[in-house]
Amino acid sequence: MTALLEAVDLRKSFGPTPALDGAGLSVRAGEVVAVMGPSGSGKSTLLHCMAGILTPDSGVVRYRDVELSAMPDGRRSELRRTDFGFVFQFGQLVPELSCLENVALPLRLGGLKRRPAEARAREWLDRLEVADVADKRPGETSGGQGQRVAVARALVTGPRVVFADEPTGALDSLNGERVMQLLTTAAKETNAAVVLVTHEARVAAYSDREVVVRDGRSREVEPAR
């Protein structure tokens, strides 16, 4: 099976500090890959490069055989809107919009009218068991509810890849488990790949395989089940 998303020999430095030093990763459609490693190992930088948010200093990121760094900013924005979804630890929801509007936002940015966009958003909120917070703003929800709204927003466009950077980092274990269950189940149902950055083995357990990043280099390991 060919790779949907592939990173080869990525190098990236922030000033004099190297974050990636020849890291690579290959993701196939529908699979959940956990990227693990200690703090400052470069795992988030790897995710950001693979998502086209950061441009690596050298190396290649290919999505469906097209090189991401060769794409103009507008095309990468479009890709984030249509093919990618994001779940971060916090900060990704627009605080001014209601949860429903947040979930509908990528659809609306894609040109869908408000009613159908919100109808689809509501389905996803329902699916992630947070329909009751649809009209609340993110600041009025609990951490677990907020993350589930974020998952709904990441999946509402039917993405091919979901990037999740420490999605349970700010949650208690019970809420964390629930979010992971919902995220991976929904991803499997839609055949979306998930790139999951975490340093918790308990979270990584939801993945099909694990990659460990240390000192900017990646190494594949067998999933710990």
Partner 1 sequence: MKNWFPDLALGVRLALGGGRTSWVRLALTAVGIGIGVVVLLAASSVPTMLAERNDRTALNHKQYVGRGNAVTGDVLYLKTWGTQFESRPISGSFVLPSGPGAPVPPGVSRVPGVGEIAVSPALAELLDSPEGERLRERFPQRRVGVIGQDGLNAPNDLSFIAGDRTVQQDASTAVRGFGGDVTRRTFDPVLSLLVMVGLVALLFPVLVFVGITTRLAGAERDRRLAALRLVGAGAQRVRRIAAGEALLGALAGLVLGAVAFAGARQFTEQVEVMGISVFVGDAMPSPLLALLIAVLVPLLAVVTSQVSMRRTVIEPLGVVRRAKPVRRVMWWRLIPAVLGAAALISQAGEMGERGGDVSETLVIGGILLLMLSIPLLLPWLVERVVGRLHGGAPSWQLAVRRLQLESGTAARVVGGVAVVLAGGIALQSVMVSAETKLVDRPTSSTDHSRMVVSLDGEAPRGTADEAARLLKDSPLVHKVDVLSWVSFKYGEDDYTSAMVATCDTLRTQAKLDSCQDGDSFYLRNGAYTNHEPDAPPGTEVTVIWNSDGEQVTGPKWTVPEYREVGPPEEFARHATSGMLLTPGALAGLDVPVRGSSIMVRVDPDRSGVAEDVRNLIGPMTWRAYAYYADENNQEDQAKQFLSIRRALLAGSLATLLLAGASLLILALEQVRERRRPLAVLAASGVPRGALARSMLWQNALPLLLSVLVAVAVGAGLAVLLLRVVEQPIVIDWAGVGLLSGAAALLVVVVTLLSLPALRRATGALGLRSE
Among 8, 29, 53, 212, binds partner 1 (CB under 8 A): 53
Among 24, 106, 167, 176, binds partner 1 (CB under 8 A): 106
Coil/strand/helix, residue 21: strand
Q: How far is it, in rounded angstroms, from Cα 99 to Cα 153?
A: 9
- Those residues with Cβ within 8 angstroms of residue 112's Cβ, 6 or more apart along the chain or in another chain: 120
Q: Which stretch binds partner 1 (CB under 8 A): 21-29, 87-95, 189-197, 203-211?
A: 87-95
Examine residue 79 and tell whether it contacts partner 1 (CB under 8 A): yes
Residue 90 touching partner 1 (CB under 8 A): yes
Binding of residue 112 to partner 1 (CB under 8 A): no
Distance CA 208, CA 98 (A): 34
Residue 127 binds partner 1 (CB under 8 A): no
Beta strands in 93-174 (DSSP E): 161-165
- Residue 16 makes contact with partner 1 by CB under 8 A: no
Q: What is the DSSP letter of 132?
A: G
H helices then E strands: how many in the chain?
7, 10
Site residues, partner 1 (CB under 8 A) = 48, 53-54, 73-74, 77-82, 86, 90-98, 101, 105-106, 108-110, 137, 139, 143, 146, 153, 170
